[in-house]
Amino acid sequence: MTALERRASVSLAALFALRMLGLFLILPVFAVHARGLPGGEQAALVGFAMGVYGLAQALLHLPFGLASDRFGRKPVIVAGLILFALGSLFAAQADSVAGIAIGRAIQGAGAISAAVTAFIADSTRESQRTKAMAMVGGSIGLTFAFSLVAAPALYGWIGMDGLFELTGVLALLAIGVTLFVVPPAPLDQAGPALSRSMNLRSVAQDTDLMRLNLGVFVLHCVQMASFVVVPGWLVERAGLGLAEHWKVYLGVVLLSFLMMLPPLFWSERRGRLREIFLGAIALLLAVCIGFMLQPGGLVAMAGLLLAFFAGFNVLEASLPSLVSRLAPVGSKGAALGIYNTMQALGVFAGGALGGLLLARWGGGAVFAVCAALLVVWLATASRMQRWPGRRASQVQPGN
């Protein structure tokens, strides 16, 4: 990477991490806190308050992506972070689950993921883009692991109101990073001109982009559905108390991040991203089959989680990189807007589907459905025609 690429990648990864930390800090403690609020006895309302953020994101990722193509990346990112901060402050003042749900919806309205990933695409060469996306994916994974450790202690110290206020402060810090640390992207000056060449219909109908959008939906659906089951199984099957789960998560996330880097770098050098990408999907499929057998013991559970995060991290870094490479130059924000919409829908669908399946048929059924979804994705992805770094002779006719 050049110095400018490193600065852009690190600062945008930090921006993502600040925003995601504000979200993740709420997750480990909100369900318990909600029991003491009006509406907290309604499990459906509590679940809605948690999930409405993803629903708002799904509705607004595409408009924010289009706006970033039209007006430039930084103004859209700043506007989204302001919305996120306002939603955090609203939730901090709420005294009911319904009020917190409104605050979470306002938070979700700041749907900046498409603009940030498009900014990374603007700021990096194709040969370095997967590394940049890996930095973002790694920052999210490390932030998630940190939140599992820090959230209970912070909640005991400053309470739920304080956690929401902290998320607002983190959003304001992210605005400062955007304005004063993130360098201008080469294409950021040309947002209005680029928008004239944008063809949303062609982006939405591009077959390979459709395959990638299906992929991110399945990936995050499987992730959310799996983690409806896994925490309970760590207690029941591995004998690990809830307060000790962070040790497993922190270890597997850190190790899996180290494991994902060599194959990604190798695939970039050798033009073999297709093999690594399909292999990662197959690895997740093997993990789901392993969980279908309902393993017992901490070692078995930790091993499956390590394999899950290793495959997940490779795909999380590769998918947005592929979308940004295959999208038309003036339509990266639009393409990544559709992509992030499908990602948010996957999060929403995975949580809802996982809860329904677990309640009716048990954890084995959750992983059986996840495995079926991964089979569909693997079959679809294997027919993708365009892979960066592949020669034309490597593309099979009829794919």
Same structural domain for residues 343 and 238? Answer: yes
- Asked if 273 and 169 touch (Cβ cutoff 8 Å), the reply is no
On whether residue 368 sits in a domain, the answer given is yes
Pick 265 or 216 by higher pLDDT. Answer: 216
Domain boundary among 155, 183, 211: 183
Q: Which amino acid is at 214?
A: L
Determine the average pLDDT of the residues in 92-104.
90
The number of folded domains in the chain is 2
List C-alpha distances in Å: 191 to 52, 187, 335, 389: 31, 7, 15, 28
Domain boundary among 117, 152, 183: 183
b/e per residue, 294-303, with b = 16+ CB within 10 A? eeeeeeebbe
DSSP per-residue string spanning 6-69: HHHHHHHHHHHHHHHHHHHTTHHHHHHHGGGSTTTT-HHHHHHHHHHHHHHHHHHHHHHHHHHH
Per-residue pLDDT band for 398 (boundaries 50, 70, 90) equals very low
The runs of H, that is alpha helices, within the chain are 3-24, 27-33, 43-71, 73-93, 97-109, 113-123, 126-180, 191-195, 200-205, 207-236, 245-270, 273-292, 298-326, 332-361, 363-381
What secondary structure letter does DSSP report for 394? Answer: G
Q: What is the value of pTM for the model shown?
A: 0.75
On whether residue 393 sits in a domain, the answer given is no
Same structural domain for residues 280 and 327? Answer: yes
Same structural domain for residues 280 and 137? Answer: no
The whole-number pLDDT of residue 329 equals 66
On whether residue 192 sits in a domain, the answer given is no
Same structural domain for residues 239 and 322? Answer: yes
Q: Which amino acid is at 358?
A: L
**How far is residue 81's CA from residue 108's CA, in Å, rounded to a whole number?**
10
**Domain at 19, CATH number:** 1.20.1250.20
Same structural domain for residues 144 and 274? Answer: no
Express each pLDDT in 202-249 by its tens digit: 777 788 889 999 999 999 889 888 877 887 788 888 887 766 777 787
DSSP per-residue string spanning 248-272: HHHHHHHHHHHHHHHHHHHHHHHT-
Per-residue pLDDT band for 288 (boundaries 50, 70, 90) equals very high
Same structural domain for residues 161 and 13? Answer: yes
Express each pLDDT in 289-318 by its tens digit: 999 987 778 899 999 999 998 898 888 878
On whether residue 193 sits in a domain, the answer given is no
The whole-number pLDDT of residue 138 equals 67
Specify burial of residue 269 (Cβ count, 10 A radius: 0-12, 13-18, 19+): exposed
On whether residue 196 sits in a domain, the answer given is no
**How far is residue 103's CA from residue 37's CA, in Å, rounded to a whole number?**
15
Q: Is the pLDDT score of 126 beyond 80?
A: no
On whether residue 83 sits in a domain, the answer given is yes
- Asked if 285 and 374 touch (Cβ cutoff 8 Å), the reply is yes
Same structural domain for residues 129 and 259? Answer: no
On whether residue 395 sits in a domain, the answer given is no
Same structural domain for residues 156 and 215? Answer: no
Pick 282 or 139 by higher pLDDT. Answer: 282
Least confident of 44-53, 305-314, 336-345: 44-53
Same structural domain for residues 178 and 41? Answer: yes
The whole-number pLDDT of residue 184 equals 82
Same structural domain for residues 243 and 378? Answer: yes
On whether residue 397 sits in a domain, the answer given is no
Domain span including residue 54: 1-183
Same structural domain for residues 64 and 169? Answer: yes
